[in-house]
Amino acid sequence: MSFPADRPRRLRRTAALRALVAENRLHPSDLVQPLFVREGIEEPRPIPAMPGQVQHTRESLRKAAAAAAQAGVRGIMIFGIPETKHADGRGAWDEHGIAQLAIADVVAEVGDAVVVIGDINLDEYTDHGHVGILGGDGDVDNDASLLAYTRVAVAQAEAGAHMVAPSGMMDGQVAAIRAGLDAAGHERLPILAYAAKYDSAFYGPFRTAVESSFAGARSTHQQDPANLREALREVRLDIEEGADLVMIKPAGLYLDVVRKVADTVDVPVVAYQVSGEYAAIEAAALHGMIHRERAIEESLIAIRRAGARIVITYWATEVSQRLCP
């Protein structure tokens, strides 16, 4: 009887052997937990489109942040939902706006144990649901939006954010925000750029979560799902403008982009496992089609394997609690 010279199955025989030779692994310090906080509610409000996720009160947000820190999660991204929305999204930079208050609350709760990240966008704050200031043609005015984004960044920095993350995909957003932060005395605050944010159908549950009135696609400023080289150009431009980290969003459908970016740049690469990816797995598991915990961890290790150093995922705290009980 002949035997193959190489026997890979020898290293798969036990869980300990598989763990010992694993090429990639998950760790709580690789994960960022997104959290929603809503103005004007007295109890956490479940988000039907995202089972297990809620719009937090300020108090329940503090508890969720503490739980994430206790589990070893090293990043929290905060999305504020105001009670009143305006055409110019002014609540996004109001020093007493919900995001600024929430950032201050979370920093007071966890200190420097967790990186508190402020998302810079206007879609949660505008009555029309667009990501920026609208021009006379009804499209988003790039330069007017940059001025607004800079005001948001400074407001979040003043509230105590450890990092800001512009997500509107406006041309020149990183350079404008960097200049604004530096002028306000926040030269040391890093910027996580949503560098390659695609025009995806998988953002729907998030829009429900933040009560956005927007319906449709954002094709004039988010990237075409057909394009890879365009993503590399966007990433390169953001780094040249001063981005300290770059993000690809969504994650699971764009692993080829994650891999290519990771092979190209010398800054940390972040991937955002978006609301639709989360909801799809939760829905399939609810109907008994897949094993929930295995599917979650498989999806996350795939993102890490593709080259993401950091993964933003709505399961960050839950998975971390399993990894380090």
The catalytic residue positions are: 197, 249
Q: Which residues pair with 193 in a beta bridge?
A: 246
Q: State the Cα–Cα distance between residues 285 and 276, nearest whole angstrom.
A: 14
**CA end-to-end span of the chain, whole Å?**
47
| Sequence-ordered list of residues with C-beta below 8 angstroms from that of 114, at least 6 positions apart, any chain | 65, 68, 69, 73, 74, 75, 76, 106
Lookup: tokens for 61: 């947000």
User: Hey, CA dihedral for 300, 304, 306, 311, is it positive or negative?
Assistant: positive
Residue 209's Cβ-count burial label (10 Å; 0-12, 13-18, 19+) is buried
Q: Is 236 left (phi over 0), alpha (psi -120 to 50) or beta?
A: alpha
| Sequence-ordered list of residues with C-beta below 8 angstroms from that of 177, at least 6 positions apart, any chain | 120, 149, 150, 153, 164, 166, 191
Q: State the Cα–Cα distance between residues 140 and 138, nearest whole angstrom.
A: 7
Lookup: tokens for 150: 């800079």
Q: Report strand pairing: 31-38 vs 45-46.
A: unpaired
Q: State the Cα–Cα distance between residues 101 and 119, nearest whole angstrom.
A: 14
